Amino acid sequence: MQRKFLLFVCTLCIAVGVLTAGSCASGKTAVALTADKAFDYTPVVPDAVNNYPQESIGGKSAIEYLKSEKVVAGLNIGNTLDAWSGNIDENGKLAFVQSGENASWGNPRINQELFNGIKAAGFSVVRVPVTWMGYIGPAPDFHIDEPFLKRVAEIAGYAKNAGLKMIINLHHDGATDSKKGDQGWLSVRQASKNQDEFNRITSQYVRVWKQISAYLKNYGDWLIFESFNELHDGNWGSGGQPGQYITLIKWNQFFVDTVRSTGGNNESRYLMIPAYCNDRRQLLSAGFVLPNDTADNKLIVSFHYYDPYEFGIQGSQTSWGTSSEKQKVVNDFAAVKVKFVDNNIPVIIGECGAVMQLYPDDSAIEQKARQSRREYLSYIFGTAKQYGLVPIYWDNGSVRGNGEKFGLFDRRNGQPNSDESKTLIKLMIEAVR
């Protein structure tokens, strides 16, 4: 087994063409990639311009910034700007899409009160996932609708007003379902098939990030960009092919290059870099490397953590907290610390959490599940703090129905949606203090 893994790593390194065993393992040496195609493009109709005045920014490294600003815990405002709905054709491709706050995933429009409440609760950063498909025009301009850009900028203003840092990304633009195939346009499966597909998708990827970063370039260093979310081929973190890993490495490089090219504060903005599927194992693999960057020490790496899946997401495991379960968290986070934090590369756990489990016919089991959830969230946040990681809880606003119930805040007023949620929020914040 180990021998097969090493062979895979060597194959991947050779395919990228510039990695050495040392650079693969350390996480400190960047990939020097040669672009397969020049993606600089001047649109026929000029892109939208935001006349927001340029804010002052500091010159701190990413790890210094997060420490000095006491960025220790955060919350996702999920299933809102990232929401989407559409029709999937017989080939598994999206035929129509509506995304954002109008996609009817059950959450109200984001307001200032929500950000104020998140800040008052003790969180220091919000991650606001954004799905852009549905607002992107046809090739080759790929124009993003200006009202949507303006809305994202308005929400960024809510974060600033509340005194929060904020992360935005490309979220369900890369959505993939193992049964239905690619649902988003940012398909790592398609892009890794051949050069034409890579060029087709990458040209859109570069144009989209060009517009987003140019529109927001004057915002301060409290606004962080993340290249994409959980890109995979339908098998989540376990089934990727070497060509897919290489594609993601290239896209991370194009992301950094594109943002930096827009000037203003983007020349030194903090950028968040995920691995394949935002998977911790892929982040730790020898094949993961950081992009080259013209700015020094401005990159942040990220992974998602819901382990064990049966407890964190599926809700089929009602109890958590054995010594072996806790030790696994320690081992997982310690390994990330050694590879990155100890080398002055900060790490944000972009999503983490555990679903609320309801057992209306068995109060004893429900109470056990609730207590385990309290212990889990407290331990995850506390252990992240211990190893220098910044955990961001996944709040999707959901507290009922058959879906994943992660909601803690009432989106209308920014207050905890129940006494139980208030307790959970308090436990997470106390764990990182």
pLDDT for residue 6 is more than 80 = no
Please choose, from the candidates 432, 429, 430, 433, the residue with its C-alpha nearest in 3D space to the C-alpha of residue 119. 429
Average pLDDT estimate for 241-258: 94
Mean pLDDT over 344-359 rounds to 98
Name the strand (E) or helix (H) holding 86: strand 84-88
pLDDT, tens digit, for every residue of 275-299? 999 999 999 999 899 999 999 999 9
Contacts of residue 332, Cβ cutoff 8 Å, sequence gap at least 6: 280, 305, 307
pLDDT value for 91: 64
Spatial distance between the Cα atoms of 286 and 277, rounded to a whole number of angstroms: 16
Q: Measure the CA dihedral 65/71/76/81, to 10°.
A: -40
Is the confidence at residue 22, as pLDDT, over 90?
A: no
Rg, Å, the chain Cα set: 21
- How does the average pLDDT of the chain come out, rounded? 89
* pLDDT for residue 376 is more than 50: yes
- Compute the average pLDDT of residues 386-400: 97
User: What element of type H or E holds 159?
Assistant: helix 146-162
Q: How far apart are CA 103 and CA 43, in angstroms?
A: 29
Pairing assessment for the beta strands 181-182 and 176-177 based on DSSP bridges:
antiparallel
Burial track 140-174 (b if 16+ CB lie within 10 A, e otherwise): ebbbbeeebbebbbebbebbbebebbbbbbbbbbb
Q: How many CA atoms lie within 13 A of 404 on its CB side?
A: 17
Alpha helices (H) in 163-293, listed in sequence order: 188-191, 195-215, 242-261, 280-284
| Tokens found for residue 428 | 């997470």
By the 8 A CB rule, do 293 and 62 touch? no
pLDDT category of residue 259 using cuts at 50, 70 and 90: very high
**Helix (H/G/I), strand (E/B), else coil: 397:** coil
pLDDT for the residue 239 = 66
Residue 314 has pLDDT above 90, yes or no: yes
pLDDT in tens, 400-431: 888 899 999 999 999 999 999 999 999 999 99
72 — phi, psi (to 5°)? -120, -20
Whole-angstrom distance, CA of residue 339 vs CA of residue 301: 11
What pLDDT shows up at residue 32? 40
Q: How confident is the model at residue 9 (pLDDT cuts 50, 70, 90)?
A: very low
Q: What is the mean pLDDT of residues 108-124?
A: 97
Question: Under CATH, domain 36-432 is a member of which superfamily?
Answer: Glycosidases (3.20.20.80)
What are the residue ranges spanned by the domains of the chain? 36-432
| Across 181-195, 317-331, 361-375, 381-395, least confident range | 181-195
134, two tokens: 């549905």
pLDDT at 291: 97
Per-residue pLDDT at 103 exceeds 50: yes
Q: What is the pLDDT of residue 34?
A: 43
For residue 154, CA distances in Å to 109, 112, 171, 216, 412 come to 12, 10, 19, 11, 17
Mean pLDDT, rounded, for 206-221: 98
Give me the pLDDT at residue 104, please. Answer: 77
Q: Per-residue pLDDT for 51 more than 80? A: yes
> Mean pLDDT across the stretch 357-382?
97
Q: Which residue has the higher pLDDT, 2 or 221?
A: 221
Residue 214 has a pLDDT of 98
